[in-house]
Amino acid sequence: MTSFWSFLCRAAMEPRTRQRVTVAYCVTLFIVMHIPVPDTPGVLPGLDKLVHFGAYSVLSILLATWPVSAEDGTRSARSSQAGLGLLAVLIALYAGIDELLQAPVGRTPDLMDWFADICGAACGLTAVFVCRWARISLQPRRA
Q: Is the pLDDT of residue 124 over 60?
A: yes
24 or 14, which is more confident = 24
- Cβ atoms of 77 and 83 closer than 8 Å: yes
**Based on the number of CB atoms within 10 Å of its own CB, is 67 exposed (0-12), middle (13-18) or buried (19 or more)?**
buried
143 or 29, which is more confident = 29
56 or 138, which is more confident = 56
Phi, psi at 108, each rounded to 5°: -105, 115
Instruction: Give the model's pLDDT for residue 128.
Output: 87
pTM: 0.79
Q: Which amino acid is at 43?
A: V
Q: Is the pLDDT of residue 13 over 80?
A: no
Q: Is the pLDDT of residue 122 over 70?
A: yes
Residue-averaged pLDDT of the chain: 82
- Cβ atoms of 57 and 65 closer than 8 Å: no
User: Cα–Cα distance between 33 and 20 in angstroms, integer?
Assistant: 20
